[in-house]
């Protein structure tokens, strides 16, 4: 598992958000439901930077290791028009390790386990807890089909 390391500039997204937990795998159903709510409305998002790509953004909640926020979104060139029921988010510049998950979305936990339990401890990096982690995939994804997801883990050099 060799990721590509990149520096990504600041960018903006518009999407819908939720708060979920990894307890009892609740996050799987909650995130799928969120995407099922957002995908039919993605056409309402104006000024998309890449209309064929979707961005999932997740952030661990401080002091709650099993809870995190998740945003189903599209990257945009500006925030001049935000549809009702959606939120804007500015993603700050960060260094990312990019991994690829191929296969069923339900198996993505195996990819995350490899990242956090194998690659990260053996690398020269640590997770940058200030940064946002991302999942980037094609707009026509379906949770029942095989797909390719680029997983962006915000990293920094170990001290």
pLDDT at 61: 66
Mean pLDDT in residue range 3-8 = 96
Among 3.30.460.30, 3.10.20.740, 3.20.80.10, 3.30.70.2740, name the CATH number for the domain at 4-157: 3.20.80.10
Q: How confident is the model at residue 142 (pLDDT cuts 50, 70, 90)?
A: low
Give the list of residues 6+ apart from residue 62 with CB closer than 8 angstroms, or none: none
Is residue 26 very low, low, confident or very high in pLDDT (cuts 50, 70, 90)?
A: low
Higher local confidence (pLDDT), 144 or 32: 32
Q: What's residue 97's pLDDT?
A: 97
Phi and psi torsions of 37, nearest 5°? -80, -40
**Beta carbons within 8 Å of 52's beta carbon, 6+ residues apart:** 138, 139, 140
Mean pLDDT across 75-85: 95
Strands of the chain (E only): list them: 4-8, 11-21, 53-61, 64-76, 87-91, 94-103, 125-127, 133-138, 147-157
pLDDT for the residue 137: 87
pLDDT value of residue 135: 93
The pLDDT assigned to 65 comes to 67
Is the pLDDT score of 55 beyond 80? yes
């Amino acid at each position: 598992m060799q990721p590509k390391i990149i520096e990504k500039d600041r960018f903006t997204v518009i999407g819908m958000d939720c708060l979920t937990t990894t307890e009892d795998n609740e996050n799987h159903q909650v995130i799928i439901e969120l995407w099922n709510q957002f995908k039919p409305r993605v056409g309402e998002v104006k000024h998309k930077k890449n209309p064929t790509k979707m961005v999932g953004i997740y952030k661990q909640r401080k002091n709650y290791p099993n809870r995190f926020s998740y945003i189903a979104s599209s990257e945009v060139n500006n925030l001049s028009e935000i549809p009702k029921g959606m939120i804007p988010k500015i993603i700050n510049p960060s260094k990312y390790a990019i991994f690829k998950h191929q296969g069923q979305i339900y198996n993505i936990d195996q990819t995350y386990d490899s990242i956090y339990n194998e690659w990260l401890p053996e690398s020269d990096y640590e997770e940058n807890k200030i940064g946002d982690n991302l999942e980037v995939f094609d707009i026509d994804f379906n949770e029942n089909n095989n797909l390719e997801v680029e997983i962006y883990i915000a990293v920094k050099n170990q001290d």
